[in-house]
């Protein structure tokens, strides 16, 4: 179900301006009334002086309670017609919809979901298909054309006339612009912006509105889960009567003011992205962290997971207190250390107000321990830091500066002396055992590289700064990795498919001793790596080539995008955003697809995820039980499957699927 709103208004006012073409309006309204929506809505038709019987039909529909009708004596045009309809609206959101549309079962709710769940988004738009199911609209790119015969800015529909299965058209994306043919906007934003500009006549009003919303700080998102058939431009010659004037007016207003996503130098050249391209993957927000407003945008919660190795924890804590600004909180999460470490941490918290200590009493593993810290964090962003590190002057502030430079950056890591990958300096001029000379070396190195960063695919989790909105979308570390290893690699990959970049801050240096908790705990590190690599390989469906190396197809993963049912990890005791019915249906179908393909690990993840959000979802419970049964773990999996089915039957004794599955499983379990 959607979030509970303390608002008696309908969720959406669907505003449809019309001018003749009664047969299309009838099809549009009938499709809306047929399919309905989980969100509540009202329909407002604004008739712009039609002469084909439209007004008579609208009066009858209004009398029947199907819609509100506003009858204008003359054609006010698209902008004025929409603005008149908006003035009569009572919904929290306004959906401007052309009348040459036929909606599908999921036409409204996915757009409402985005605006309900993400307060940063002000406008969202739907996926529009021609009657032959090719793409009419999958978002709009702002293009700068340099050809003398077509010089200027213009909107270009993405994936136009391509098959509806085209990958880019089926992934939610940030855009500067979505078409006004199906554009949903927060009511208060529309009024704050004074509605559609009446300078334009049936063209560029939607582009102008989206750009003005962007200037005001609002995000625009294309939502492909809302699907509508568009017969396109059936309103007659009035639609095209002032094209040239609209283009000139638009460029006079926005040339030098708007930044193009793409540029085309010649008439025949395919537009290519500019450095200002704002089109990127959009990932749904799944966690509401409710950070206190008095916490500034740049506050960070530094989370340090400890497990014995007290000598190194002391050095880490001392360096944090010396080199970390007091506005940032420090959270030490202890995973069942011996009493000496516990007593030290408790004393530390007594002596420093900004230090918080969480004592788990046992080793929950790297991911679960850090997730507890993330759930308890009050800072805007979060930094995970190993306890066998020593930070240096400017280590956190410089990483924050890089993150603040570009909203695409979701994760930042420092340089170091000891790690795998591109964060390691080949040579350091200080004693790595005693750290004598560390501060001088770090100061010299970071000053020489001030302001520089390098984009990377991978960051190592010994020290990583994570943007707040990334946490709200990805959640925590994947706890299936147990004691440790590969959680950071997994998180980087999840950030990649979620549309976020990662950078190494060349002007931040953190010393790393390396694996000291594993050494203190006498863990077989090589064996841990092998076990966790297998979990990672199965999760991401890696293929092994002839040389025995894993192959990761980043292009295919990028097109697949972020799959919340697989890639999201809830945080303990943290509010997760409720699933709408359309999301539950989509996730269940994804899980069943994984099951049918034999990808049982993914299927198990999906069905567990659905049950996290909706514990009484019988279809997901039956599917999870069948997946556990197919996996065939007789010590834990099958007993759990039987318990799941028994619980379903307690709620619903007549559930035929659960009865049949239980009858099939119980004998198999007894035999084993």
Angle, helices 600-613 vs 618-631, to 10°: value is 150
Mean pLDDT check: name the lowest of 274-288, 403-417, 446-460, 655-669. Answer: 655-669
Band of pLDDT at residue 575, cut at 50, 70 and 90: confident
Band of pLDDT at residue 296, cut at 50, 70 and 90: low
| Per-residue pLDDT, 672 | 44
| Per-residue pLDDT, 548 | 66
Band of pLDDT at residue 520, cut at 50, 70 and 90: low
The pLDDT of 541-567, averaged and rounded, is: 81
Band of pLDDT at residue 6, cut at 50, 70 and 90: low
Query: What tokens appear for 414 in the block?
Result: 């420092």
The segment(s) of the chain belonging to CATH 1.25.40.10 are 578-671
| Per-residue pLDDT, 670 | 46
Residue with tokens 């032959």: 132
CA dihedral 110, 111, 113, 115 (to 10 degrees): 170
Contact by Cβ (8 Å): 446, 508: yes
Residue 539 has pLDDT above 90, yes or no: no
Query: What tokens appear for 380 in the block?
Result: 């805007």
The pLDDT of 231-257, averaged and rounded, is: 76
The model's pLDDT over 127-181, given as tens digits with 9 standing for 90+, comes to: 999 999 999 999 999 999 998 878 899 999 999 999 999 988 999 999 999 999 9
Contact by Cβ (8 Å): 552, 542: yes
Spatial CB neighbours of 16, under 8 Å, sequence gap ≥ 6: 25, 28, 43, 44, 45, 46, 85, 96, 97, 98, 99
| Per-residue pLDDT, 295 | 55
Cα–Cα dist 265/431, whole Å: 56
Band of pLDDT at residue 482, cut at 50, 70 and 90: confident
Residue 632 has pLDDT above 90, yes or no: no
The pLDDT of 102-110, averaged and rounded, is: 96
Residue 513 has pLDDT above 70, yes or no: yes
Cα–Cα dist 658/518, whole Å: 44
Measured in whole angstroms, the distance separating CA 667 from the mean position of its chain's CA atoms is 43
Mean pLDDT check: name the lowest of 555-559, 637-641, 647-651. Answer: 555-559
| Per-residue pLDDT, 568 | 95
The pLDDT of 568-575, averaged and rounded, is: 91
Q: Which of 338, 298, 333, 336 is nearest to 316 (CA)?
A: 333
The pLDDT of 415-421, averaged and rounded, is: 92
Q: Where are the alpha helices (DSSP H) in 20-158?
A: 22-35, 54-63, 77-87, 109-117
**Left, alpha or beta for 126 (phi > 0: left; psi -120 to 50: alpha)?**
beta
The pLDDT of 293-305, averaged and rounded, is: 82
Q: Which of 183, 171, 224, 230 is nearest to 78 (CA)?
A: 183
| Per-residue pLDDT, 244 | 78
Contact by Cβ (8 Å): 623, 607: yes
Residue with tokens 């400017």: 394
The segment(s) of the chain belonging to CATH 3.90.550.10 are 12-281, 300-542
Residue 241 has pLDDT above 60, yes or no: no
Spatial CB neighbours of 513, under 8 Å, sequence gap ≥ 6: 312, 388, 389, 418, 432
Cα–Cα dist 309/290, whole Å: 34
Q: What is the pTM of this model?
A: 0.91
The pLDDT of 398-410, averaged and rounded, is: 96
The model's pLDDT over 348-394, given as tens digits with 9 standing for 90+, comes to: 999 999 999 999 999 999 999 999 999 999 999 999 999 999 999 99
Measured in whole angstroms, the distance separating CA 423 from the mean position of its chain's CA atoms is 27
Q: Which fold has domain 300-542?
A: Spore Coat Polysaccharide Biosynthesis Protein SpsA; Chain A (3.90.550)
Q: Which of 189, 200, 37, 42 is nearest to 124 (CA)?
A: 189
The pLDDT of 17-25, averaged and rounded, is: 95
CATH architecture of 12-281: Alpha-Beta Complex (3.90)
| Per-residue pLDDT, 553 | 83
DSSP of 429-450, one letter per residue?
A: SS-TTT-TTHHHHHHHHHHHTT
Contact by Cβ (8 Å): 271, 153: no
Mean pLDDT check: name the lowest of 48-62, 442-456, 511-525, 565-579. Answer: 511-525
The model's pLDDT over 49-84, given as tens digits with 9 standing for 90+, comes to: 999 999 999 999 999 999 999 999 999 889 999 999
Q: Could you tell me how many residues make up the chain? A: 672
Residue with tokens 């099809």: 27
Residue 265 has pLDDT above 50, yes or no: yes
Band of pLDDT at residue 1, cut at 50, 70 and 90: very low
| Per-residue pLDDT, 554 | 84
CATH superfamily ID and name for 578-671: Tetratricopeptide repeat domain (1.25.40.10)
């Amino acid at each position: 179900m959607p979030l509970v709103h303390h608002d008696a208004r309908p969720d959406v006012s669907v505003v449809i301006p019309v001018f003749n073409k009664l047969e299309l309006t009838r099809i549009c309204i009938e499709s809306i009334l047929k399919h309905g929506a989980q969100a509540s809505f009202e329909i407002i038709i604004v008739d712009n002086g039609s002469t084909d019987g439209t007004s008579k039909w609208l009066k009858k529909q209004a009398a029947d309670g199907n819609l509100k009708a506003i009858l204008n004596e003359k054609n006010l045009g698209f902008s004025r017609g929409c603005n008149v309809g908006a003035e009569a609206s009572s919904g929290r959101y306004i959906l401007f919809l052309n009348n040459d549309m036929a909606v599908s079962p999921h036409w409204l709710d996915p757009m409402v979901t985005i605006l309900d769940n993400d307060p940063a988004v002000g406008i969202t738009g739907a996926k529009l298909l021609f009657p032959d199911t090719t793409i009419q609209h999958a978002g709009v790119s702002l293009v700068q054309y340099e050809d003398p015969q077509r010089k200027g800015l213009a909107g270009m529909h993405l994936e136009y006339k391509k098959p509806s299965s085209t990958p880019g058209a089926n992934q939610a994306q940030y855009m500067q612009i979505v078409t006004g043919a199906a554009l949903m906007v927060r009511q208060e934003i529309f009024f704050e912006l004074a509605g559609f500009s009446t300078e334009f006549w049936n063209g560029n009003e939607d582009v102008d509105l989206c750009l003005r919303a962007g200037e005001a700080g609002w995000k625009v998102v294309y939502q492909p889960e809302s699907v509508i058939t568009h017969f396109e431009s059936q309103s007659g010659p009035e639609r095209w009567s002032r094209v040239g004037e609209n283009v000139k007016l638009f460029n006079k207003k926005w040339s030098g003011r708007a930044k193009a996503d793409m540029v085309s130098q010649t008439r025949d050249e395919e537009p290519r992205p500019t450095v200002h391209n704002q089109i990127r993957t959009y990932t749904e927000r799944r966690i509401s962290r409710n950070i206190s407003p008095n916490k500034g945008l740049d506050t960070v919660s530094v989370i340090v997971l400890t497990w014995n190795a007290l000598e190194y924890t002391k050095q880490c804590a001392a360096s944090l207190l010396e080199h970390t600004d007091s506005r940032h909180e420090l959270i030490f999460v202890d995973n069942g250390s011996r009493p000496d470490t516990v007593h030290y941490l408790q004393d530390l918290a007594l002596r420093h107000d900004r230090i918080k200590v969480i004592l788990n009493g046992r080793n929950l593993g790297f991911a679960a321990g850090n997730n507890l810290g993330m759930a308890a964090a009050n800072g805007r962003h979060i930094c995970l830091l190993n306890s066998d590190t020593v930070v240096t002057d400017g280590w956190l502030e410089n990483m924050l500066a890089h993150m603040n430079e570009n909203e695409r950056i979701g994760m930042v890591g420092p340089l170091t002396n000891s790690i795998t990958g591109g964060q390691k300096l080949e040579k350091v001029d200080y004693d790595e055992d005693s750290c004598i000379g560390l501060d001088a070396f770090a100061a010299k190195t970071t000053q020489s590289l001030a302001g520089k960063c390098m984009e990377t695919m991978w960051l190592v989790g010994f020290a990583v700064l994570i943007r707040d909105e990334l946490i709200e979308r990805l959640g925590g570390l994947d706890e299936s990795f147990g004691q440790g290893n590969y959680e950071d690699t997994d998180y980087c990959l999840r950030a990649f498919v979620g549309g976020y970049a990662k950078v190494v801050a060349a002007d931040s240096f953190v010393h790393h001793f390396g694996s000291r908790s594993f050494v203190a705990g006498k863990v077989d590190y090589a064996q841990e790596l092998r076990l966790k690599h297998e979990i990672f390989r199965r999760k991401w469906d890696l293929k092994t080539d002839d040389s025995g190396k894993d192959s990761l197809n980043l292009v295919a993963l990028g097109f697949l995008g972020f799959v919340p049912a697989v890639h999201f990890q809830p945080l303990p005791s943290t509010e997760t955003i409720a699933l709408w019915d359309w999301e539950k249906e989509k996730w269940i179908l994804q899980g069943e697809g994984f099951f049918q393909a034999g990808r049982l690990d993914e299927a198990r993840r999906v069905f567990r995820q659905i049950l996290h959000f909706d514990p009484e979802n019988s279809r997901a419970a039956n599917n999870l039980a069948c997946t556990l049964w197919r996996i065939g773990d007789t010590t834990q999996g099958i007993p759990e499957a039987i318990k799941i089915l028994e619980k379903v039957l307690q709620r619903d004794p007549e559930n035929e699927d659960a009865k049949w599955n239980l009858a099939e499983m119980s004998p198999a379990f007894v035999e084993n």
